[in-house]
Amino acid sequence: MLNADALEVSYGKSRVISGVSLQVGKADKVCLMGRNGVGKTTLLKSLIGLLSPRQGRIQWEGKEITRSRASERSRMGIAYVPQGREIIPMLTVKENLELGAMSHYPKETARLMEEVLDYFPALSEQLDRKGGVLSGGQQQQLAIGRALMSKPKALFLDEPSEGIQPNVVAEIARTLNRVHTEKSLSVFIVEQNLDFAFKIAERFYVMEKGQIVHKGNTGEIPMDTIKKYLTI
C-alpha cells in the first residue's frame, strides 16, 4: 500500500532522517517508536506530504507520490491525526466533523457522521459544543473522527495517547481496532506509550538518530527489549 524507500529529510542543512525504508500494507497495523527528538514526527510528515524528502521515494498503491502535496494524498485515502489534535476550537463538534468530509464526500456527510458517532458515542452528546471546551480525550476522539470522515484507506496518527486519561486511551485503542476490522483500514501510529501501541500494532519500527534500528512483529519481542530504545 505505502512504501517508503531510502528517505532522507532535512531541515535546512541539518539532516533529520537518513536512509529510512518502511512499508504499510493493506489493513496493516504498524507502530513507529523511539525517544523524543529522533525524527519520528518528521518521518510521519514526510509520509503524509507535509515535508518533502531530499532523497528517496514514496509510493502509494504502486504510484509515485514523493512530490505529491498532502491534499493530494488525502484524496488518495491517506488521513492524518496530528500531535496535539489541532481541531478548530471555535467550531462546534459537528462542524469540525463536517470539515472532514467537505472536500471529499460532501453528499455523504450525514451517513459518515452517523458512522463516526457510532465509533465515538461520547461525541453525540457534544455536537453543539465548541471544540475548544472539550476535554483532551474528547478532542482526540474528535480529531480521529474528523479523519475518518474522509473515508481513508490508511490512518496516520502522531502520539494519539499523549495527555489523555488512561480509560479514554483504552477506549481509543478499542475503537481503532474496531475500525481496522470493519473497514480493513491500515493504521500507522507514532507512539511512546508501549501498552497502548501494542494493543493496536501488529508490527513495529524503532527509530534512533533518524534511522530505523529495529523492526519486527509485536507478538514476537519482549516488551523490555523495546523499552531500552525508549529510555532516556
Domain CATH code at residue 25: 3.40.50.300
Amino acid identity, position 207: M
pLDDT of residue 225: 77
| pLDDT value at 140 more than 90 | yes
Domain contains 66: yes
Domain contains 161: no
14-73 pLDDT, tens digit per residue, is: 889 999 999 999 999 999 999 888 999 999 999 999 999 999 999 999 999 999 999 999
Domain contains 13: yes
Residue (of 35, 62, 36, 65) closest to 53 by Cα position: 65
Buried (b) or exposed (e) across 41-75, using 16+ Cβ within 10 A? bbbbbbbbbebebeebebebeeeebbebeeeebbe
Q: Domain range spanning residue 232?
A: 1-75+188-232
Dist CA 122 CA 90 (whole Å):
19
The number of folded domains in the chain is 1
Domain contains 93: no
Domain contains 17: yes
pLDDT of residue 226: 78
| pLDDT value at 181 more than 70 | yes
Domain contains 210: yes
User: Strands of 63-64's sheet, edge to edge?
Assistant: 14-24, 2-11, 55-60, 63-64
Phi, psi of 11 (to 5 degrees): -110, 110
Dist CA 161 CA 174 (whole Å):
13
Residue (of 97, 82, 105) closest to 129 by Cα position: 97
**Segment holding 7, helix H or strand E:** strand 2-11
In the structure, what pLDDT confidence band is assigned to residue 104 with cuts at 50, 70 and 90?
low
* Beta bridge partners of residue 60, listed in sequence order: 2, 63
Q: What is the dihedral of CA 104, 116, 77, 75, to 10 degrees?
A: 20
Residue (of 167, 219, 229) closest to 32 by Cα position: 229
Q: Is 126 in contact with 93 (CB distance < 8 Å)?
A: yes
| Cell reading at 45 | 510528515
Domain contains 231: yes
Dist CA 95 CA 174 (whole Å):
25
The whole-model pTM stands at: 0.92
Mean pLDDT value across residues 180-190: 96
Domain contains 221: yes
